[in-house]
Amino acid sequence: MPTDPVNRNLVYVFDISGGDPALLDDETTVRACLSQVVDRAGLTPLGETSHRFAPQGFSMATLLAESHLAVHTWPEDGTAYVTLTTCRAPSSDSFEEDTRSLLRETFSATDVAVRTLL
């Protein structure tokens, strides 16, 4: 039996507010941003699925070897949230702050709040 504790459910929730509606509704921008989040965390993408809502909004989930990453956007409100659930801690000690900065810059957001559930 292993004696090291296994992280089975690390959850990071990034609440984006005051974002640019055009950027939040741009599928290419959202996909590129999530790809950077996965890369920066040192995680392994396996596949993805997405859905565009009418007249606006976008949801996407990336299946990871370590669990999943999801985004849901509400361009009409300038908001979105990104959730990362993983069984392995991100490879960078500055993951939370780096991801906040990436999301703020990518979506021209006024704020990105972070909640961590361990």
Active site residue 67: yes
**Catalytic hit among 17, 50, 67, 108:** 67
**Catalytic hit among 87, 92, 94, 101:** 87
Active site residue 87: yes
Q: Beta-carbon neighbour count of residue 58 at 10 Å?
A: 21
Please state, in angstroms and rounded to a whole number, the distance separating the CA atoms of residues 78 and 90.
Answer: 27
Residues 6+ positions from 116 with CB-CB distance below 8 Å: 10, 11, 12, 13, 96
**Catalytic hit among 17, 59, 68, 72:** 72
Q: Which residues are catalytic?
A: 67, 72, 87
